[in-house]
């Protein structure tokens, strides 16, 4: 049981009305610091508006590395350094062109190449279209798709309150659709954007050709949800219509890049490392303010809050800005590789990669003992409207971490609007609410503080 120290007590007619524990007082100070003295909004303003899109291997990604490193150096940390990582470099090229060719009519539709796609022929690709709802349906059609463009049109399910559940239910068509369609002789694929609303913004994202031969690679693009609705309706009227697609993207040689790391050494157990982080790269259509500029600056703000409060952590707290989450995950993998080489002991890792909307709680990868311990802190978060403590995925960048005893967590903001912006042209700084961003940083810092003060439960194996 945690020792309770009363710092603030209010009496009335000899009756104790309330008492605040040390934890309550510290968390209150954390939120006050974030809401009145934070730097995260101005940091994000610079990342988004002065640097912009930060696709791995790009000049802007390198600018972001240097900028965030310089900003961390101003905070008076014990160390700030770069960690080398080789990353893929994919270039979109000229703006994509696409239209529906129905008899004598040409209707332009918004599309964008999916990350890692090959280009179409120089003069574009024209072919008939066959619509499917899933990879499973594609497999039932087999060679009927030969010579055609496969149109994956399974929408995100609107009935799920947790929109990431809806995303997970259809993202396989984006990631593996081209690979699977090529096996049956398709010449290209179009994928409905991962978006719950109807609009004209195509959403990019990673796709993979897997282990098929390069000669089987086919171009693949996302189409906006409005475009998908129009194409589906047009196909019902004329199943023999054709679709034109032109893209000039290409895969280049790998580039040297970096994870950016800053840390405060632990005062009691410096050998135990607690990580807080987000990914520094973004897709190239916009500046990636929600995905994941927000997670980057919130993670930096956690350390800034601790410095502002003069908090000296028991364990080493390390902010890690991972490179290449979007199209390879190499930053997280390299961080774990070097962690193993250096025999580092990570006890906790927290990631923010779900946007800058109002925080609602956390998802945890933890055993029952640690999860139950964390859930016992819910009352400390309730004054700040943080209530969701669930088991689930923590984050892609911290997923590779494999220390013997480790708890992982992911910040869970309200997800209802996230996929309006995810990987799209409108994921820009003007979509960010300053207060929500700061509340997320404070919520992360509060959990980091509680984990640092109370440690983790180590379950001894039975002999």
Sequence-distant contacts of 155-164: CB under 8 A, at least 24 apart: 155/192, 155/225, 155/228, 156/194, 156/195, 156/196, 156/419, 158/196, 162/415, 163/196, 163/415, 163/416, 163/418, 163/419, 164/354, 164/415, 164/418
List the catalytic residues: 325
DSSP code per residue over 153-222: -PPPPTT-SSHHHHHHTTTHHHHHHHHHHHTTT-SEEEEE-S-SS--S-----B---TTS-GGG---EEE
Best CA proximity match to 301, nearest among 73, 76, 39, 71:
39
Contact between 91 and 70 (Cβ < 8 Å): no
For residue 254, the tally of other CB atoms under 10 A from its CB is 15
Distance CA 359, CA 352 (A): 10
Best CA proximity match to 420, nearest among 122, 197, 180:
197
């Amino acid at each position: 049981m945690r020792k309770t120290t009363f710092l603030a007590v209010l009496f009335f007619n000899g009756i104790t009305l309330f008492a605040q524990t040390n934890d309550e007082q510290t968390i209150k100070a954390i939120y006050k610091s974030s809401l009145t003295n934070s730097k995260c909004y101005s940091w994000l303003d610079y990342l988004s508006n002065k640097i912009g899109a930060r696709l791995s291997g790009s000049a802007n990604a390198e600018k972001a590395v240097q900028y965030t490193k310089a900003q961390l150096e101003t905070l008076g940390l014990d160390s700030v350094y770069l960690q080398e990582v080789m990353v893929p470099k994919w270039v979109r090229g000229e703006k994509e062109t696409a239209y529906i060719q129905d008899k004598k009519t040409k209707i332009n539709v918004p599309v964008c190449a999916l990350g890692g796609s090959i280009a179409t022929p120089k003069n574009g690709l024209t072919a008939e279209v066959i619509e499917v709802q899933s990879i499973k349906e594609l497999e039932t059609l087999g060679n009927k798709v030969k010579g055609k463009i496969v149109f994956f049109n399974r929408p995100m399910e609107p009935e799920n309150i947790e929109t990431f559940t809806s995303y997970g239910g259809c993202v396989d068509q984006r990631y593996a659709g081209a690979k699977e369609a090529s096996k049956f002789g398709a010449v290209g694929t179009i994928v409905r954007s991962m978006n719950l609303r109807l609009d004209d913004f195509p959403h990019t994202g990673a796709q993979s050709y897997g282990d098929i031969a390069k000669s089987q690679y086919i171009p693949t693009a996302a189409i906006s949800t409005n475009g998908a609705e129009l194409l589906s309706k047009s196909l019902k009227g004329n199943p023999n219509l054709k679709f034109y697609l032109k893209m000039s993207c290409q895969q280049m040689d790998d580039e040297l890049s970096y994870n950016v790391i800053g840390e405060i050494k632990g005062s009691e157990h410096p050998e135990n490392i607690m990580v807080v982080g987000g990914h520094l790269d973004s897709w190239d259509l916009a500046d990636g303010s929600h995905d994941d500029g927000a997670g980057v600056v919130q993670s930096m703000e956690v350390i800034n809050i601790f410095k502002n409060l003069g908090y000296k952590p028991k364990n080493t707290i390390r902010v890690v800005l991972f490179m290449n989450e979007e199209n390879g995950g190499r930053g997280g993998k390299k961080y774990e590789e070097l962690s193993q080489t250096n025999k580092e002991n990570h006890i906790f890792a927290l990631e923010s990669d779900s946007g800058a909307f109002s925080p609602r709680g956390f998802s945890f990868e933890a055993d029952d003992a640690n999860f139950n311990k964390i859930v016992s802190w819910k009352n400390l978060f309730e004054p700040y409207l943080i209530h969701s403590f669930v088991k689930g995925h923590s984050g892609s960048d911290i997923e590779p971490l494999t220390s013997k005893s480790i708890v992982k967590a992911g910040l869970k903001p309200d997800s209802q609007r996230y996929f309006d912006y995810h990987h799209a042209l409108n994921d820009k700084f003007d979509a960010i609410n300053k207060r929500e961003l700061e509340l997320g940083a404070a919520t992360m810092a509060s959990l980091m503080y509680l984990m640092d003060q109370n440690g983790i439960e180590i379950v001894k194996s039975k002999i």
